[in-house]
Structure 1
Amino acid sequence: MKITFNPDHYVIDNLHIPKLHEHMYCIFDLEGTGILPDRESITQFGAMEYKHGEVGHSTFSTLSRTSKPIPDAVAELTGISNADMKTAPAFVEAYHSFSTFIGEKILVTHAGYEYDLPMLKRHCEQFGVKMFRNKVLDTKAMFTYIHPEVCEVISTDYLIRHYNIDTEGIRRHDALADYDVIARILDHLLQEYEERGLDHFTADPTRSIRRFEIPEMYSITEDGGNT
């Protein structure tokens, strides 16, 4: 798979997944010390096996010791603190456990093409481990391809509203909870693909996907300049 980034959108190529409704997928989500994938550190891996129409799938979760402090605002949002990091496994150990769980399954993420994958690739390069080669589906791309009329950024909250998904009682921005939300979104997407007579996903480099918008607070560097 190839991802080509532009300032406000990206396109994907070289990805084809046939028989969408027949696979055992592995939904995954990462938490980090912030929203910028080129500089943040992973704090948590979460993953869940998923097959359309089935329930009771296996799940996985582990913290990952960061290489930088977790800001107070992020700790409050995710529920993961610097104190948790003292006993968390090192990245290599956490990643090995994650890789064992996902095996060779097709992975599913939300906004992972622009956040989780770049951040994870950078960590693998930094720590000298091989990045997995699994195929990866992103629910943003899946939705964008069948709804070209939608011009908004396809956020998790947007899809929750669009599909009227009940998230009451779910703690958001926790990898364990977020993969459950992604699973509910994927369930609706697969149902919609089926209703449209679509049994595959094929990357189309002529279709662009809007990138998430970086909050203004992240556009200022520590020395006061713009990023």
Structure 2
Amino acid sequence: MKITFNPDHYVIDDLHVPKLHEHLYCIFDLEGTGILPDRESITQFGAMEYKRGEVAHSTFSTLSRASKPIPDAVAELTGISNVDMMTAPAFAEAYRLFSSFIGEKILVTHAGYEYDLPILKRHCEQLGVTMFSNKVLDTKAMFTYIHPEVHEVISTDYLIRHYNINTDGIRRHDALADCGVIARILEHLLREYEERGLDHFTADPNRSIRRFEIPEMYSITEDGGIT
């Protein structure tokens, strides 16, 4: 799969997933010290198996020791503290356990093309760990392809509202809990694809996907950089 980034959008190419409704997927989500994949550090892996029509799903979760301190605002958001990092496994071990869980299954994420995959790739390159080669579907791209009339940034919160998903009692920004939310979004998307007679997802480099917006907690420096 190829992802080409532009300032406010990106396009994908070289991805084809046939028989969308038949796969045993593995949904995954990462938490980190911040939202900028080119400089932040992973703090948590979450993953769960998902197959349409099935209720019981195997799950996986582990912390991953960050290489930099977790800002207070991020710790409050995710519930993961710098104290937790003291006993968390190193990235290489956390990633080994994660890789064992996902196997060769097709992966599903939300906004993973612009956050989870880039931050994971950077970690693997820096530490000499082989990055997985699984196909990856992104619910953001899946939604954008069938809803060209929507021009908003397709955030998790947007899809929760769009599909009227009840998230009461779910601890958001916990990697495993967010996997459960993504699973419910995927369920709605697969139903929509089926209703439209679509049994596959094929990347189209002529369709653009709006990138997420940087939160206000990241300040802009005088030279235009982000801190």
Deviations 1:76-131 (A, max 9, x none): 00000000000000000000000000000000000000000000000000110000
Deviation at 1:217, TM superposition (A): 3.5
Deviation at 1:176, TM superposition (A): 1.3
Q: Which residue of 2 aligns with 1:189?
A: 189
Q: Which residue of 2 aligns with 1:226?
A: 224
Q: Which residue of 1 aligns with 2:48?
A: 48
Q: Distance in 1 between matches of 2:217 and 2:223?
A: 12
SS at match of 2:142: helix
Note if contact 1:63-1:94 (Cα within 8 Å) is conserved in structure 2.
yes
SS at match of 1:220: coil
- The alignment's TM-score, normalised by the length of structure 2, stands at 0.98
Q: Which residue of 1 aligns with 2:57?
A: 57
SS at match of 1:121: helix
Deviations 1:154-202 (A, max 9, x none): 0000000000001010010110110000000000000010011000000
Q: Which residue of 1 aligns with 2:9?
A: 9
Paired AA for residue 87 in structure 2 = T
Return 5+ residue gaps in structure 1 as ranges: none
Deviation at 1:219, TM superposition (A): 4.1
Number of equivalences: 225
Q: Distance in 2 between matches of 1:88 and 1:219?
A: 29
Deviation at 1:226, TM superposition (A): 2.5
Percent identity reads 88
Deviation at 1:216, TM superposition (A): 3.5
Deviation at 1:10, TM superposition (A): 0.2
Q: Distance in 1 between matches of 2:105 and 2:150?
A: 30
- The alignment's TM-score, normalised by the length of structure 1, stands at 0.98
Q: Which residue of 2 aligns with 1:82?
A: 82
Paired AA for residue 134 in structure 2 = N
- CA RMSD of the aligned region, Å? 0.8
Q: Distance in 2 between matches of 1:225 and 1:123?
A: 27
Deviation at 1:225, TM superposition (A): 4.1
Q: Distance in 2 between matches of 1:71 and 1:43?
A: 12
1:1-227 equivalent positions in 2, closer than 5 A: 1-221=1-221, 225-227=223-225
Paired AA for residue 224 in structure 2 = N
Note if contact 1:219-1:226 (Cα within 8 Å) is conserved in structure 2.
no
SS at match of 1:165: coil
Paired AA for residue 204 in structure 1 = D
SS at match of 1:137: strand
